[in-house]
Amino acid sequence: MTDLSPGAAPAPQSAEPAQQPAPQAPEPVASASAPQPAAVTARWAKRRKELRILFGREPEPDGRPSFIWLERWDAFIVATFITIGVPLLGASGFAWSTKLFIGMLWFAAWSTFFYHFELRELIGQMTGRGAIKAEQLSQQQDSAQEPRYAVRYAIFIWLLAYVVHVVIKVFPIYGTLPEWKFITVTIPVQIYHSWWDSWISYGIVEWLALVHAWFVTKKLINRDTYDVGNIFSKAAPMGERVNLSR
């Protein structure tokens, strides 16, 4: 019992301090810049959906047909394959059977691909708004010629490599033979050998690919884009076919 009378000595204090509650670790604060797992998943799902729409695995959100971008880029894609692919095939040194296999795949794929999207571009305009503008029809008819121009580019690349190869081969001999023999014998012989030995040598497959591209573009694509397109243009109201910029 503690003595509270006056003059009494204070009671001794305990030497052990009172126990304090243990400090708690602060809760981690989420950074505003750090992506949340749900946001990342949603973003990747959106990108996958866009890719599936882009490559025709799912329909367009607004109801447009799949591969709508190929209707404008099909001619450029085919022309690029012809301009670059045929010279590369000629310079590849592949065996005849390998070139034939590549050629068969090309013949089966490109004309069907090109024909389909060129006609779908025409039909899509009529289906979408019931009319086709003369300016847009003219632009499509011009772009449909690109594979035919690509044939010329591929022949030019082959011819350039052919001429340079002949010149390089006969140049060291120039001046060591009489001119008449150099012109009538050396150059013709080298022209014959360079046909087979040039850096870019076209065989049956390469020439068939070029002739096929020329024929399909000239006889089929041009005929249908001009004939069908002109019929669609005439079927549209007169106001759709008047150039108001003049």
Q: How far apart are CA 58 and CA 163, in angstroms?
A: 51
- Overall pTM surpassing 0.75 (yes/no): no
Q: What does DSSP assign to residue 217? A: I
Q: Decide: 65 and 124 in contact? Cβ < 8 Å.
A: yes
Phi–psi pair at 172, nearest 5 degrees: -65, -25
Listed in sequence order, the residues at least 6 apart from 125 whose beta carbon sits closer than 8 Å to its beta carbon are 131, 132, 133, 136, 232
Distances in Å between the Cα of 189 and the Cα atoms of 91, 163, 164, 173 are 21, 13, 15, 13
pLDDT by residue for the chain (246 residues), tens only, comes to 455 555 555 555 555 555 565 556 555 555 555 557 788 888 888 888 888 777 666 767 766 666 777 777 888 889 999 999 999 999 998 998 999 999 899 888 888 888 888 777 777 766 666 667 777 777 777 788 888 999 999 999 999 999 999 998 888 777 677 877 888 888 888 888 888 889 999 999 999 999 999 988 887 777 777 777 777 777 665 444 444 444
Q: Which helix (H) or strand (E) holds 148?
A: helix 146-170
